């Protein structure tokens, strides 16, 4: 019992110490510009050596530092959030296994050893999504694990293709892969798309909200969904100028727009934040596809801080209001939970790219570099629309939860007096405020040269302001015209369901096989095969044996009938 009480505190201390050590080592590696590689040769097969490899450079160590920092805050937070859970120890072990798998994946530049962490993430994520054992969680877990399995198969096929190189360390070979390795590049982009939930694999990310909120905070900030982005960052030298890169650009831009549009029609608190994660993953992969992996890495780290904070605030709110997740049943919470609402507003403003918060340094730089690049008009338009939609759903979320009218039936339990949750949020709150500036000093000691016209320079600010105003106006209209969306019902259903992605990923994906299988069973197994097969043969033999039995009973009546029939047949033959 004592171990159950203190397990979250012990985990926080050890993971926090590990985060500090990795952070210091990352700064030293960044300053000295060196890389340490540890290899353990397992076996040699046809001149290809199967080795277990770990790489310690500033990229892997800095990312691992952020993973451990967020994990320590989330585990400490879980000590209060999951306090009444009977299987709390199992939950903690699963989360620690999740963090260990992510660490294996981050430190591995080798496709053989990266598969251990990659598959470990998929397996443990399934166990965490089905943690609340009900039908909804089981369906969400199955959708999650099967969607990620496509990426696992792509990794396995890429391992087979890379055996032609004589090794699987992509840090050695990614610089020398030309157009003849297009199949390998497509497989790796496919693996990254499944893990980072890009179109058409987007349905599993909102469905994975069936997991406990601390798991969602960890998954959406620094572990499962970022694994695909991290793999693409490591593999980015091989993608330069390839067709896989241009395909990734348009898919990620469409995902960014689709998620932003869907979040404006969603009412589930956690699913809105999940769709915002999907939108930011599209931002990361799109700027990576334009040829700026260091910018994608910068946004990956800064996004992890405020997104984990946003999920923690969502967990506190859901916990306090009686496990409601519908934002229409909240409202006016700033009067009852001022501290939590303050942290949530900071995280939301950082998500929008509010000046001098964590998201501003990375997101504003990404948008300006994208505007300055040789990007086509469609991608440019999707960037602009996605930026406006981000501010729209953020204003909508703040209006429905923090401000507006109080919609709960009782306010007796609505407070943020839980010190464990507040303390764990404070650490990430400081990161959401100062993390972007510190990271920009570390990762970009020399500033980017941005050369844009006055219109393009002010476009991001204007679109953000316009998105916020439109989002707030729509919220004000909803109190007067509550059924206005029914006039455009088809569009609302399409936009609110992520362009029918959940339907296409579940029933429609298997409808042909299910319908044809049912028809084959009715016509075949229960139809002609039954008539001509087992049942038919049984009926034929049973009737035949009854007739044969009559012949063997020495009945004079049977003999006389046979004699008469034989005489008639003989007469007919001779006539």
Over residues 121-171, the pLDDT tens digits come to 888 888 888 888 888 888 888 888 888 888 889 988 988 888 777 778 777
**Would you state the pLDDT for residue 270?**
86
Is the separation of the CB atoms in 129 and 94 below 8 Å?
no
Residue 481 pLDDT grade (very low, low, confident, very high; cuts 50, 70, 90): low
Q: Is 456 helix (H, G, I), strand (E, B) or coil?
A: helix
302: closest CA among 192, 490, 432? Answer: 432
Per-domain residue ranges of the chain: 81-479, 527-574
What is the CB neighbour count within 10 angstroms for residue 460?
A: 20
d(C-alpha 84, C-alpha 541), whole Å: 66
Which segments of 497-533 does DSSP mark as H helices, in order? 501-505, 507-520, 529-532
Q: The tokens of 263 are what?
A: 């979040």
Q: The tokens of 246 are what?
A: 């241009």
Question: With 70 as the cut, is the pLDDT of residue 3 above it?
Answer: no
Task: Tell me the per-residue pLDDT of 341-366, one tens digit each, with 9 for 90 and over.
Answer: 888 889 999 988 888 888 888 888 88
Matching residue, tokens 């980072």: 196
What is the CB neighbour count within 10 angstroms for residue 415?
A: 14
174 HSE (CA, 13 A, CB side)? 20
Question: Exposed, middle or buried, 180 (CB in 10 Å: 0-12/13-18/19+)?
Answer: exposed
Is the separation of the CB atoms in 287 and 363 below 8 Å?
no
- Report the DSSP beta bridge partners of residue 43: 50
pLDDT > 70 fraction of the chain, expressed in percent and rounded: 94
Distance separating the N- and C-terminal Cα atoms of the chain: 105
Is the separation of the CB atoms in 80 and 12 below 8 Å?
no
Q: Which residue has the higher pLDDT, 375 or 417?
A: 375
Residue 484 pLDDT grade (very low, low, confident, very high; cuts 50, 70, 90): low
Is the separation of the CB atoms in 101 and 128 below 8 Å?
no
59: closest CA among 82, 34, 76, 79? Answer: 34
Question: With 50 as the cut, is the pLDDT of residue 396 above it?
Answer: yes
Q: The tokens of 300 are what?
A: 């990956």
**Would you state the pLDDT for residue 411?**
54
d(C-alpha 350, C-alpha 355), whole Å: 8
Q: Which pTM does this prediction carry?
A: 0.85
What is the CB neighbour count within 10 angstroms for residue 511?
A: 12
Task: Tell me the per-residue pLDDT of 22-62, one tens digit each, with 9 for 90 and over.
Answer: 989 998 888 888 888 888 887 777 677 777 888 888 888 99
Is the separation of the CB atoms in 139 and 203 below 8 Å?
no
What is the CB neighbour count within 10 angstroms for residue 418?
A: 17
Is the separation of the CB atoms in 324 and 406 below 8 Å?
no
Question: With 50 as the cut, is the pLDDT of residue 2 above it?
Answer: no
Question: Exposed, middle or buried, 545 (CB in 10 Å: 0-12/13-18/19+)?
Answer: exposed
Task: Tell me the per-residue pLDDT of 496-552, one tens digit each, with 9 for 90 and over.
Answer: 777 777 777 777 777 777 888 888 888 877 777 777 777 777 788 888 878 777 777
């Amino acid at each position: 019992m004592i171990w159950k009480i203190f397990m979250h505190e012990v985990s926080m201390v050890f993971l926090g110490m590990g985060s500090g050590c990795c952070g210091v080592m990352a700064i030293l590696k960044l300053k000295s510009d060196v890389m340490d590689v540890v290899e353990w040769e397992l076996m040699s097969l046809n001149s290809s050596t199967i080795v277990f490899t770990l790489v310690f450079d500033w990229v892997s160590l800095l990312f691992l530092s952020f993973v451990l920092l967020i994990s320590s805050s989330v585990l400490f937070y879980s000590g209060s959030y999951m306090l009444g859970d009977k299987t709390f120890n199992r939950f903690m072990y699963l989360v620690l296994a999740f963090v260990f798998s992510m660490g294996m994946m981050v430190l591995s530049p080798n496709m053989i050893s990266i598969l251990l962490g990659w598959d470990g993430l998929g397996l443990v994520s399934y166990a965490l999504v089905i943690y609340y054992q009900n039908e909804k969680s089981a369906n969400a877990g199955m959708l999650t694990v099967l969607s990620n399995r496509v990426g696992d198969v792509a990794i396995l096929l890429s391992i087979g293709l890379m055996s032609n190189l004589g090794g699987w360390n992509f840090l050695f070979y990614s610089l020398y892969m030309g157009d003849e390795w297009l199949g390998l590049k497509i497989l790796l982009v496919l693996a990254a798309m499944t893990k980072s939930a890009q179109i058409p694999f987007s349905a599993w990310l909102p469905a994975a909200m069936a997991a406990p909120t601390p798991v969602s905070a960890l998954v959406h900030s620094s572990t499962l969904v970022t694994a695909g982005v991290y793999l693409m960052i490591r593999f980015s030298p091989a993608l330069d100028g390839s067709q896989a890169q241009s395909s990734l650009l348009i898919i990620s831009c469409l995902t960014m727009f689709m998620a932003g549009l869907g979040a404006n029609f969603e009412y589930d608190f956690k699913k809105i934040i999940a769709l915002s994660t999907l939108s930011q993953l599209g931002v990361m992969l799109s700027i990576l596809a334009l040829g700026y992996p260091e910018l994608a890495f910068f946004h990956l780290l800064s996004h992890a801080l405020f997104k984990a904070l946003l999920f923690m605030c969502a967990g506190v709110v859901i916990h306090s209001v009686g496990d409601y997740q519908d934002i229409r049943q909240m409202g006016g919470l700033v009067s009852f939970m001022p501290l939590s609402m303050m942290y949530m507003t900071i995280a939301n403003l950082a998500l929008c790219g509010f000046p001098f918060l964590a998201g501003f340094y990375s997101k504003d730089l990404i948008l300006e570099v994208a505007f300055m690049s040789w990007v086509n008009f469609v991608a440019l338009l999707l960037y602009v629309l996605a930026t406006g939609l981000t501010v729209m759903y953020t204003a909508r979320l703040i209006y429905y939860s923090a401000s507006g009218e109080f919609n709960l039936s009782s306010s007796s339990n609505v407070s943020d007096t839980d010190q464990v949750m507040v303390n764990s949020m404070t650490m990430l709150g400081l990161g959401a405020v100062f993390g972007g500036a510190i990271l920009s000093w570390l990762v970009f000691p020399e500033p980017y040269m941005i050369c844009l016209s006055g219109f393009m320079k002010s476009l991001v600010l204007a679109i953000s302001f316009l998105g916020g105003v439109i989002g707030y106006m729509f919220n004000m209209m909803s109190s007067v015209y509550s059924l206005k969306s029914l006039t455009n019902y088809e569009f609302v259903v399409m936009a609110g369901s992520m362009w029918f992605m959940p339907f296409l990923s579940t029933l429609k994906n298997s409808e042909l096989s299910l319908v044809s299988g049912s028809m084959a069973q009715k016509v075949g197994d229960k139809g002609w095969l039954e008539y001509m097969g087992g049942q038919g043969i049984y009926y034929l033999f049973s009737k035949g044996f009854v007739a044969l039995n009559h012949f063997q009973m020495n009945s004079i009546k049977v003999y006389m009938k046979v004699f008469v029939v034989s005489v008639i047949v003989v007469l007919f033959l001779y006539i």
